[in-house]
Amino acid sequence: MKKKTIAFIATGTVLTLGLGTVGVNEALAKTVTVSLDGTPTQFRTYAGTVGQALSTKGITLSEHDVVAPSADSTLAEGEQISVQYARPVTVTIDGQARTIWTTATSVDQVLGMLQLADANTLVSTSRSSGIGREGLSFSVETPKKVQLDVDGRSQEVISTTRTVDDLLKEQKVSLADGDKVDPGLTTVLTDGLKVAITRAPKPEPVAAPKPAPKPTTSSSTTTSTAKKATTSTTKSSGSSSSSSSAPAGVWDQIAQCESGGNWAINTGNGYYGGLQFNLSTWRAYGGSGLPSSASKAEQIAIATKVQAAQGWGAWPACTSKLGLR
């Protein structure tokens, strides 16, 4: 056989083997579709498992991510692989924060998962907001049914406010000096809570003093009587001035009646200190901070201003008991 013929046969054999190898390799390749958070991508791969196929596309997984089929599953032709990335979400519910890992991609989905999808739930961000792989933080206030008793009327209200004080502001319930709130203004709302307002009794009107009778004695007696009356009136005026300025002993008696003499008391009912100020009165007359944190002298100073403007009726029950009005 001639050399040229031999070379041609050899070349043909190598070409045939090469084409056969390409054909075999192509037969081993598989068409795969990967859906990343709902976005599909199709490619061909020689990988033998789902995990290997994902690695060839640079897709790395964390312990919280969800893959179906599992990463160690054998890869089949036409395989449909679903990858859902997990992201950290911090939700503060009625003041209590919790962090979860979730594959949800929107705030609305997270609310549904946590059973917080009620339309009355107050959410700090849009329910349609998307959640990226970096995660998201938001807060919610859940609706609570509260029974509110005020001015002889009882009603059930649904509120997403945080405290009793917030609820009263929302419902436009105003408080006057001496009104009692049960439970206290700082109480956190819970479902089924009962809130009652007890109004302070209105002060009784003070009758005007009767005019003194005209003297009927002689002029000398009248002069003497007038002098005595002048002296008596001067003493009486001094006594009235002393009562108006209310010496510390009187304030101690009122404090004993109002708070058991505890000048630092704070029971959470909305009234503070030995003389049981509410915050609106305390601040209106120049007080700062909480009355229960102020000194006895400062509480008496503010009380003196209140008494000068409102009279003893600012402490109706105790001043009546002590005979001050």
Q: Is the pLDDT of residue 235 over 50?
A: no
Supply the pLDDT for residue 203: 64
Of the candidates 35, 83, 34, 86, which has an alpha carbon nearest to the alpha carbon of residue 63?
Answer: 86
Tell me how far apart the alpha carbons of residues 187 and 165 are, in angstroms, rounded to a whole number. 8
Supply the pLDDT for residue 4: 55
Is domain 28-85 given the CATH code 3.10.20.30 in the classification?
yes
The mean pLDDT value for 163-177 works out to 92
Percent of the chain with pLDDT over 70: 78
Supply the pLDDT for residue 216: 45
Tell me how far apart the alpha carbons of residues 307 and 295 are, in angstroms, rounded to a whole number. 18
Of the candidates 268, 277, 263, 273, which has an alpha carbon nearest to the alpha carbon of residue 315?
Answer: 277
Domain 144-198 in this protein, CATH class: alpha beta
- For the chain, the average pLDDT equals 82
Could you tell me the end-to-end alpha-carbon distance of the chain, in angstroms, rounded to an integer? 142
User: Per-residue pLDDT tens for 284-299?
Assistant: 899 988 999 999 999 9
Give the number of other Cβ atoms within 10 Å of residue 83's Cβ: 20
pLDDT band at 211 (very low <50, low <70, confident <90, very high): low
Domain 243-321, what fold? Answer: Lysozyme (1.10.530)
Tell me how far apart the alpha carbons of residues 212 and 210 are, in angstroms, rounded to a whole number. 6
Alpha helices, H only, the chain: 3-28, 50-56, 107-113, 164-170, 219-245, 248-259, 279-284, 296-310, 316-321
- In this structure, the strands spanning 80-84 and 66-68 are antiparallel
Of the candidates 304, 249, 253, which has an alpha carbon nearest to the alpha carbon of residue 277?
Answer: 304
pTM score: 0.48
Supply the pLDDT for residue 241: 36
**Same fold for the pair 87-141 and 144-198:** yes
Supply the pLDDT for residue 163: 93
Tell me how far apart the alpha carbons of residues 246 and 276 are, in angstroms, rounded to a whole number. 17
Each domain of the chain, given as residue ranges in start order, spans 28-85, 87-141, 144-198, 243-321
CATH classification of 87-141, choosing from 3.40.50.300, 1.25.40.10, 1.10.1060.10, 3.10.20.30?
3.10.20.30
pLDDT band at 248 (very low <50, low <70, confident <90, very high): low
46-65: b (≥16 Cβ within 10 Å) or e: ebeebbebbeeeebeeeeeb
Supply the pLDDT for residue 27: 62
Q: Is the pLDDT of residue 151 over 60?
A: yes
pLDDT band at 173 (very low <50, low <70, confident <90, very high): very high
pLDDT band at 99 (very low <50, low <70, confident <90, very high): very high
Supply the pLDDT for residue 42: 95
The mean pLDDT value for 136-160 works out to 93
The mean pLDDT value for 198-215 works out to 61
More confident residue, 226 or 102: 102
What one-letter code names the amino acid at 321?
K
More confident residue, 17 or 154: 154
